[in-house]
Structures are given as C-alpha cells and as structure tokens.
Amino acid sequence: MDMSLPNSLPKVIDTTFRTAMQRMRAAGRLKFVARTVSTDLEIAGLMKASDGGPALLFGAIEGHDVPVLGNVLSCQANCEAAFGLDFRGIRELIGRALSNPIEPLLVAQSPAYARTYTSGFDIGRQLPVLRHAPIDSGRYITAGVVIVRDPQTGVYNASYHRLQLVGPERTAIKLDFGRHLRLAYERAAKAGASLPIAVCIGADLALQYTAATMGSQMPESTSELSVAGGLRGQPLPVVKAQTQDLLVPAEAEFVLEGRIRPDLSVSEGPFGEFVGFPSPEGGAPIFEITLLAHREQPLYHAINGYGRETVMLRKYVLEASLLKVLQSAVPIVVDAEMTAGGLHRFHAVVSVRKTTPQHDGLQRNAIMAAFGALKDLDMVIVVDDDIDIRDPADVEYALATRMEASRDLFVVPQARGHEYVRIGNNGIRAKLGIDATVPMEERGRFERVKFAPVTPFADGDLGDAVPASLPWLA
C-alpha cells in the first residue's frame, strides 16, 4: 500500500468511516469472524484476545442482525491503513487541523438518517450493544462521539463519553469533571434546561480523532467540527437534527438524538476503564433519546474500555498537540513519542537536537513545557536525537548510560494528573522529569561505536544447510 510522506500530504482526504474500512480491507487489516457470537462478554473478550491486531468484523450476532466492528484503530498498522498514510502523515494531518480549522458545511441529506425512529424503538434490541467485562454493571455504548452546542458560548464540541443502557430510550451518561460536555451540562442545568446532544456511532475518522483531542490545543472556544474539517482539508458535512436544535455530522452509521435531563439521574458503573481498573459506581444524569437513526445495512462500532483502541485513538492526537507546543516554545525539539507502556497518555519521550552549548538546559525547558501542554503527562524523558525514541531498548540505553540520578531526575510535587490513576490522590500526583541527554561539549565522548557499511543479506544468502566442515552440527 502506498504510504504518503508528511511532505506530500493530500490537500483533501476522504476520512469517511466506510471508505476507511475499505482501505483497511484492501490492506489486510480487516478480518471477518465467521462463527456466531454473543454481545454478552464474548465479543469484547475476543476483541481483547486479539487486541493490537487487525480489526474484527463480527457478522453473526446472537439476537441481532447488525454486524459489530471492533479493534478498528487499535494499532499503528490499522491507523495507517485506515488513512492510507504513515503515522507521521497522520500526525501532520492533525497538526494541520489544529492550525487551520474549516467551518462545517450544511447539507440537505444524510445517509445516517436512511431509517429513523421517533417512538417505539428499543436501542438495546436494535443495536448490538456489548457488555464488555464481568465487572461492568451493564451494556455500554463506547464508541459514540457526543455532539453538543454549548448553551452559553454556542461553540460545538465533540467528545467520547460512555453510555450505559438503562431503558429502551434511555442511557446513563458519564460526565467526567473538567470536560467540556460537563461544563455545557452544568450551564444548562443552572438555567433549569435539558441539554440537547447527538451521539454518532461509526463517525467520520476526522471527527473521531478530533473528539479525542485534549489539553491546551483544544480550548473551549474551538469547535471540534471545524477542526475535523481542517483534518479532512474540506468542510465536514452536517445536517439539521430532526428532534433537537443541533447540527449533526452527516456521516455516521448510527445517530441518537436526545437531551441530557438535569432532573434525572441514575447509578452508573462500575466499568472497566483504559487504566485497567474499573471506575467506581456513581451517580450520572440520564440521556433521554428522542430519535434513533441509522444507515442502510449499518455497522455497529464497539471499543473496549480497557483496550488498545481506547488509548491509540489519542496517541497521534496527543503527539501532534505536544509537538505543536514544544517546537514553538523549545526549537531544539525534534520529535515526541507517547509510549505504549504509559497508555499513550501518561509517559512521553522527547527527542532534542543540540547544536551549540547554548542549547544545554533547553531540554529541561521542554520537559516543563510538556507538563503544561498535556495535563495527564506524569513522566517525560528527554533524549538526544541519536536515540530512537520508538525503540524502548534504545530509550533505556540512554537511561543506563546518559542519566545520572543524583542530578538528572527532578520532581514536580502535587501536580494535577488523571483521577483514574489510583496511585495518586484524586488526580493529584508528582510528575517526574528525566534528563537523559549529554552536555553539548561532551557529545563526542558518548558517541557509539559505528560498524563498516555492508551489503544487507539478499534472498538465498541464508539457509539451513550445514557446512561440510562441521558435520557434528548436522
């Protein structure tokens, strides 16, 4: 498959969900599951067992005729296949989107509204919603992008929030503190009003990635619908919702229109979250659904809460956001990697290129800037540009040979992180900076041994035949 390079990014890219699935199928990153499976624990268990592999399409579902699609963006190979770009190209698209948003385009019709229901529907019966893990308190919609227009600012926001089924036309909706949707909900509730929202399942990938943005690059005043247009290089098509005063992305497999009620709540959770622990049971407002719509022959997209797709969705978004901040503030920054062991969220490795002694010390500025750019970062390692930041062994080599603990570790106490990290205190936790770079004037002393250039092995150079001079190996 042709992987475009960042310097040859397409001006316009088709990121619609079905086009992305076709690209993945052509690249061998979409596999079909033939056997009949259950929405109760089995599909999620199979997704977890194949986590990080090709996307899985379950076509035979007990009690449902809608196929389930899982593990879509769960690894680098899947993401690259979905976009038809290498990971650097994807990051460049995101960077372009953050810098050059494009307002959405209102269109007359949407394939997502091919079939509509405004009464008598049952989302638990019509959608193959999964129960993911035995610890979960029920069935959860997990891949829905929630669209809201803030009642005070009028700015559109797109974000991910889990929805627990609590009735045929109702779900609980988890609203974490510090999120824009919660702020919009609180503003509506203060006025005694319900908050209109729409939930898109199987949305345009540009919108899925934009909904995963966070940190300093997505302030409250920025519309994720416009940023999605910037990623696509063309406006995101939207239509008027049929039962709520909202604009809704035109490309989706399912759309749920409705409102979050300020006067109704229910016990929600526990649910297995991305950190590997169940989030606790707690109160959550009710999402009252006023319309269910879907495409012809729709696909239902599911994401395991504790699965790689959950964290991979944010990896390139966070890297692009981090690089935009760092390279503006600290020009010696070359690249950044949000590591897998840190769930692509809590740990980062930053590469810097020093070319003059006056650059010494800027690597530590980069660490502090990184903590400011992404609230959830708890550890940042900075290395010289001869270290491969995507090779954990090479990063550990830098720690082993270039980091002196008495002077190269520094701690920022009592900083704000993520409340799901249990070792912290409700989100308060120390942050660790590690300087694994060498002083510019000593760079030569730390240069690694180089070997002579050679011609790589060709086909036929390696075999299993034992040399005649070594019969004892036969």
Copy the structure tokens of residue 36.
Answer: 């009949």
pLDDT reported for residue 214: 66
Cβ–Cβ under 8 Å, residues 12 and 36:
no
The alpha-helical segments, DSSP class H, found in 290-356 are 308-329
Q: Residue 142 burial by CB count (10 A; 0-12/13-18/19+): exposed, middle or buried?
A: buried
Could you give the CA distance from residue 80 to residue 90 in angstroms, rounded to a whole number?
8
270: cis peptide before it, omega within 30°? yes
Tens digits of residue pLDDT in 428-438: 999 999 999 99
pLDDT reported for residue 438: 96
pLDDT reported for residue 5: 40
pLDDT reported for residue 216: 55
pLDDT reported for residue 217: 61
In this prediction the pTM is 0.89
- What residue spans define the domains of the chain? 310-442
273 φψ region: left (φ > 0), alpha (ψ -120 to 50), beta (else): beta
SS3 181: helix
pLDDT reported for residue 421: 85
**How confident is the chain (474 residues) per 10-residue block, as mean pLDDT?**
52 96 97 97 97 96 97 96 95 91 96 97 98 96 97 95 97 88 94 97 96 73 93 97 97 98 93 86 95 98 93 92 93 96 95 96 96 94 97 97 96 89 88 96 92 93 91 89
DSSP codes of every residue in 418-434: -TT-TTSBTTEEEEEEE
Could you give the CA distance from residue 359 to residue 322 in angstroms, rounded to a whole number?
20
Name the residue type at position 417: G
Could you give the CA distance from residue 360 to residue 372 in angstroms, rounded to a whole number?
21
Could you give the CA distance from residue 74 to residue 89 in angstroms, rounded to a whole number?
17
For domain 310-442, which CATH number applies: 2.20.28.10, 3.40.1670.10, 3.30.499.10, 3.30.365.10? 3.40.1670.10
Copy the structure tokens of residue 465.
Answer: 């035949």
- Beta-ladder partners of 156: 149
